[in-house]
Amino acid sequence: MSENEEVSQGDAEGVEEAASDENDPANTEEEGPPEDPEVTALKESIATLEATLADKKSKLQYELEQCEEYSKSGYARKVADMENMKRVRSVSSINCVSL
C-alpha cells in the first residue's frame, strides 16, 4: 500500500466514526423523563421572583437617585450647575458681540 491509500483509508475510518457518533443515542441530547410538576412550578416561581427582584432593584436605584437630587447637596449641585450655565452664556454672548 502506498501512503496515499493509507491516508484515504484513515480518512474514511474517521468519517465513519463521525457518522456513527451522530447516530449514537448516548451522544444525542436526551430529554429524559418528564420533569416533576413540582420542579416546574418551582422554576416558574423562581423566574417570577427574579423578575420581581430586578424590578425592585431598578425602583430602589431610581429612588436613591431622587433622594440624592433633592437633598441639600443635590440642591447645591443644581444651583452650581445653573450658575455655571449663566457664566457660560454670558461669556458666549460677550464673545459674539465682540466678533
**pTM value > 0.75:** no
The pLDDT score that the predictor gives to residue 92 is 81
Q: How far apart are the C-alpha atoms of 58 and 54, rounded to whole Å?
A: 6
pLDDT of residue 45: 97
Of 33, 31, 54, 35, which Cα lies nearest the Cα of 43?
35
Determine the Cα–Cα distance for residues 98 and 91; give it in Å rounded to an integer: 11
b/e sequence 59-84, b meaning 16+ C-beta within 10 Å: eeeeeeeeeeeeeeeeeeeeeeeeee
Provide, rounded to the nearest whole percent, the portion of the chain with pLDDT above 90.
47
pLDDT in tens, 53-65: 999 999 999 999 9
Grid coordinates belonging to 9: 483509508
**92 or 15, greater pLDDT:** 92
**Cell triple for residue 54?**
430586578
Report, as an integer, the average pLDDT of 76-84: 94
- Checking if the pLDDT of 46 tops 60, the result is yes
